[in-house]
């Protein structure tokens, strides 16, 4: 702890400058005596006071840098799941509610694929505006009631 410039006690917690790898100047910090002293000079206010445009971004005290490599799922995986409607419980249920042409329109619009993970399960593909496939969520539905089973699994194209 450092000496507080307001109350004179050794209760000042100084801010760390991630850019330089050092503490900010002596007066930049927060006094731990919040009720009695309440001294707090933030780095942003200090830098504005001295006329600097630099504003540090602090992510966290013990942050780790993690690099994620974004990969996409191949379109061939989506294509393989789109032609097995007779094995898909959700599509069977939709056929009970709607005419065939409307059901096929909805299947193609929402890219409702059929997964083999569970018998009769549906895969919902997550596709961005650029038509890149990021992930798929597999869910199991009851073909008679259309209710979702508690089973679900998500897989994606993120690797570490």
Task: Quote helix, strand, coil % in the chain, to nearest 5.
Answer: 20, 30, 50
Dihedral-angle region of residue 131 (phi above 0 means left; psi in -120 to 50 means alpha; beta otherwise): left
Distance, in Å, from the CA atom of 44 to the CA atom of 57, rounded to the nearest integer, reads 10
Can you give the pLDDT at residue 155?
66
Residue 69 CB neighbour total at 10 angstroms: 8
Q: Are 74 and 157 in contact (CB under 8 A)?
A: no
Task: Report the pLDDT averaged over residues 54-65.
Answer: 51
Q: Are 122 and 141 in contact (CB under 8 A)?
A: yes
Task: Report the pLDDT averaged over residues 61-79.
Answer: 70
Bigger pLDDT: 44 vs 92:
92
Q: Give me the torsion for CA of 90, 91, 96, 101, rounded to 10°.
A: 150
pLDDT tens-place string over residues 5-38: 788 888 888 888 776 778 888 888 888 887 788 8
CB-neighbour burial class of residue 126 (10 A; exposed 0-12, middle 13-18, buried 19+)? middle
Q: Are 82 and 124 in contact (CB under 8 A)?
A: no
pLDDT tens-place string over residues 82-140: 987 888 999 999 999 999 999 999 999 999 999 888 899 999 999 988 888 888 899 99
């Amino acid at each position: 702890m450092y000496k507080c410039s307001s109350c004179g006690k050794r209760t000042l917690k100084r801010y760390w400058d991630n850019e330089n790898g050092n503490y900010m100047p002596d007066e930049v910090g927060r006094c731990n005596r919040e009720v009695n002293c309440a001294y707090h000079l933030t780095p942003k206010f200090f830098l504005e006071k001295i006329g600097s445009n630099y504003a540090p971004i602090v992510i966290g005290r013990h942050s780790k840098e993690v690099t994620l490599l974004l990969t996409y799922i191949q379109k061939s995986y989506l294509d393989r799941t789109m032609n097995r409607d007779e094995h898909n419980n959700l599509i069977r249920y939709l056929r009970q509610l709607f005419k065939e042409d409307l059901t096929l329109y909805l299947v193609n619009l929402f890219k409702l694929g059929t997964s083999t993970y569970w018998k009769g399960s549906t895969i919902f593909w997550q596709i961005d505006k650029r038509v890149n496939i990021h992930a798929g969520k597999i869910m199991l539905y009851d073909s008679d009631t259309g209710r979702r089973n508690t089973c679900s699994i998500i897989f994606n194209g993120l690797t570490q």
